[in-house]
Homo-oligomer: A and B are copies of this chain.
């Protein structure tokens, strides 16, 4: 029930608030902090061996990311993610994946297309060898290349955040049987559309890819709560 954090290491030259933000965020996404749990500035600051100020700033950022909810005159509590929340997040990701892919189609360079082709092959290979962790990493890289090719900083950062929610918060071993064979096909459809610089087609196939991933994801995740 109670939380406890080890004192923070001050070795790094980064800002304490960012470290605190990462600590709290990971604790929530890893479910070390349960939904409904109250976060008390002073307590966290004492445990980390720092003052309230950076803790405050970290908590403010968590509020803006909706990972915690500020209840006036009550403090902040860890938000719960309902099934409806997950569905909303997946839907947003789907929309923005389609968007970023259609933008990327207009800007992508041959070099990145080559890297995508190579990655798509490797993903399938590694999965065939049973290296699921590796294939997931490569999959992330695949999408990251597309994200970056679009040169759309806002869409990129939205998608990055959403991606972390989806993969970290829900610790689903993301591999529905047969899904990776579909992924191979869909990745090639995406590469093909990007290669032809066909925005509308890229949008269509990226949307379908994200929708299928979302479906597979929801099927794997058995949700209890509403």
Smallest beta-carbon distance A47→chain B, Å: 23
Smallest beta-carbon distance A8→chain B, Å: 19
| Closest partner residue, chain B, to A94 (CB atom) | B99
Cβ contacts A123-163/B at 8 Å (1 or 0 each):
00000000000000000000000000000111100100000
**Number of this chain's copies in the complex:** 2
**Dominant secondary structure at the A interface:** helix
Asked if A88 contacts B154 (CB within 8 A), the reply is yes
Beyond the given A60-B60, A92-B154, A95-B95, could you list 6 further A-B residue pairs with CB under 8 A, ordered by the A residue number?
A56-B57, A57-B57, A88-B153, A92-B99, A92-B158, A94-B99
Identify the A interface with B (CB < 8 A): 56-57, 60-61, 64, 66, 88-89, 91-92, 94-96, 98-99, 103, 152-155, 158
Smallest beta-carbon distance A81→chain B, Å: 11
Specify which chain B residues have a CB less than 8 angstroms from the CB of A152 in the assembled complex: 88, 91
In the bound complex, CA of A94 to CA of B154 (Å): 14
